[in-house]
Structure 1
Amino acid sequence: MQVVSGPVGRQKVHYEAPPAEYLPPEMDRFLAWMNGPKTMEPALIRAGLGHLWFVTLHPFDDGNGRIARAIGDLLLARADGSPQRFYSLSAQIQRERKAYYDMLERTQKGTLEVTEWLLWFFRMLDEAVNHAHGMLDAVLIKARFWQRQQGTALNARQIRVLNRLLDGFEGKLTTSKWATLAKCSSDTALRDINDLLERGVLQRSESGGRSTSYELKVD
C-alpha cells in the first residue's frame, strides 16, 4: 500500500506501508498495546504514539487517517479520565492538514525517531484546547449579553446584526455595513443604530476612519 500524489508516470510516493504479510502480527501487537495494562509512557505520549503507530501500519485502503485521529482522541479521553471532552484534536489536525501530512512523511521516511512528531502532536493539542477555550468564552459572552438584554425591545434587524457582532464580525461596523447585513436602507440602519446607542448597547468606536463605526459596549 502506497500513498502517492501527482499525475500518472510522475507520482510522488509519500509513504509505503509495511508488506501485507507483516500486517496481522503487527496489528495484534498494536491492539494488545492499546487494550493492555498501562505502560510506562505518560498518557499524552501514549496518545501520540497510538496515532502514529496505527497510521504507519496503514491497514486499510482508505480511512486510515480518520481512524488514527479517532484512536488519538480515544487515548486522550482515557488520559483525561472522563468521557466528556470540550476540545477536539481531530478538528485541530484537520485545520492543519498540510503540516500534518508533512510531519507524517518526515517521520515515516526517517528512522522513526518520534520526538519531532510528539512535539508537533502536543502543539496541536495545546492549540485545540486554546481553540476550545476561545469558543467557550465566545458562547459565554453571547449568553451573558442576551441575559442583560432581557426585556429590551429589539427588532429583528437589530437582533440579527448584534448576533453577527457577537459571533466575531470582522472589520468596522458602519451604517452602510449595518444596512447590508440587515437588508435595509441606510436611513433605517441609522435609526436602528441610534436606538442602540441610546440604550447603551452600542458605542461609537474610538478608532479613526473616514466613516463613523460602532462596537458593542462592554460593561
Structure 2
Amino acid sequence: MTGRAAVFRYDAGLLHALNFMMIGHHRDKSPGTVRPGAIFISDSGTGEVVYEGPDVETVPGLLDELVDWLNTGDLDAPGYVRAAMAHFNLVKIRPWRDGNGRGSRALQTLVLGRDRILTPEFASIEEWLGQGRTTYDYYNVLGEVGRKRWSPHGDTLPWVRFNLRCHHMQAQKVRQRLREAGEVWTVLEEGVDADGLHTRCVSALYEVFVNRRLRRTMYQADESLSQGQAARDLRELTAKGWLRPYGETKGRFYAPGPRMEVIKADFAARLVPLRDPYRRE
C-alpha cells in the first residue's frame, strides 16, 4: 500500500482524513474540516502570540498547492528532506482547529513510507522528540524558520537539518539499544546458567533490566507458565539476589536486586554518548 504504486495520489481529502483519525473523538473541534477562522499560537508563559496562521480564505488553495507538490514536486530530492518539508508546510498552513502538529508528523511518516522506509524507528521522529530538550528545540526551530506569520519563501535549512539530526540520533539510539540488548541477554543467560536456574528466567531478568519492574502476571503470560511456576521462578531469582520484591499479594512487583544493580551500573558506565552529526569538534 505504501509503495510507489501509480494508483496512489495525495489529495486534500487524505490530509483531512488524517486529521479526522487523530481528533475525531473531539467533535467540537470540527475534525477533518478546514478551520472556520483565524488561528494563533501563544506562548503559554507570557501569552504572546508566537505564530499566526494564514488567512482561512487562503487555506484551501495552500492545501492544493501542497498536494500538487507532494505528487509532482522535487521527486528527485532525498525522501527524508521531502518528508521534513511536507511536515513543515502543513504545520505552518495549520488548516485545522486542532491536531495540526500530529497531522503534520503523520504526513512526514507517510512520505517516508511511500519511499519504502517503513520501520517505525526510521519512519518517524516522534520517539526522539520526546528525548530531553528535543521537544523545546522542535518548537524553537519551527519558530525560527516559520517566523510569526505564514512565510513560504524563507530559508528552511535549519528545519531540514533539525529533522535529519533527529533521524540520525534516533538511528544511533536504535543501534545502541540493539547492541546492548544482545550483550545484556548474554550476561544474564550466563548468570542464570551458573545458578542452575531455568533458561526462561532470563526473560524475567531482562524485563527488569530494561523497565526496572516486573509483575508475576506479566512474566507468567510472557512465558505461558502456570501461576505456581511463575511464582517459584521469581522466588528463586529473589533468593539468588537477582530481584527484590516490593508490596504484597496482587500489588507485588519485582525490581532489580543487588546482583542486577551491579550489572546495570556496569553497562551504564560503558555507555558511549551519541554523536551529533552537525556538531563541529
What band does the TM-score fall into relative to the shorter chain? Answer: 0.5 to 0.7
1:160–1:25: structure 2 CA closer, same or farther, 3 Å change rule?
Answer: closer
CA distance in 1, matches of 2:44, 2:208: 43
CA distance in 2, matches of 1:101, 1:116: 12
CA distance in 2, matches of 1:122, 1:179: 44
Output the amino acid matched with 2:42.
V
Structure number with greater Rg is: 1
Contact preservation (8 Å) 2:86, 2:104: yes
Q: TM-score, normalised by structure 1?
A: 0.66
1:63 Cα offset (Å): 1.1
Partner in structure 2 of residue 106 of structure 1: 144
| Structure with more contact order per residue of length (Cα contacts < 8 Å, sep ≥ 6) | 2
Q: What RMSD over aligned residues (CA atoms) do the two structures have, in Å?
A: 3.7
Contact preservation (8 Å) 1:107, 1:114: yes
CA distance in 1, matches of 2:129, 2:101: 10
Q: TM-score, normalised by structure 2?
A: 0.53
Contact preservation (8 Å) 2:185, 2:206: no
Q: After superposition, what is the alpha-carbon deviation per residue over 1:113-146, rounded to whole angstroms, capped at 9, x for unaligned?
A: 1011111111111111112212222333344445
Partner in structure 1 of residue 119 of structure 2: 84
Give identity over the alignment, percent: 19
**Which among 70, 87, 93 is matched to residue 129 of structure 2?**
93
Q: After superposition, what is the alpha-carbon deviation per residue over 1:80-134, rounded to whole angstroms, capped at 9, x for unaligned?
A: x243344341221233111100110111117621011111111111111112212
Could you tell me which runs of 5 or more consecutive residues in structure 2 were left unpaired when the two chains were aligned: 1-38, 213-239, 247-256, 268-281
Could you tell me which runs of 5 or more consecutive residues in structure 1 were left unpaired when the two chains were aligned: 170-177, 185-191, 197-201, 203-212
CA distance in 1, matches of 2:88, 2:204: 45
Pick which of 55-64 and 145-154 moved more. 145-154
Matched, 1:5 2:47: no
CA distance in 2, matches of 1:214, 1:115: 45
1:57 Cα offset (Å): 0.5
Contact preservation (8 Å) 2:189, 2:202: no
Contact preservation (8 Å) 1:161, 1:181: no
Partner in structure 2 of residue 135 of structure 1: 177
Partner in structure 1 of residue 7 of structure 2: none
Partner in structure 2 of residue 69 of structure 1: 105
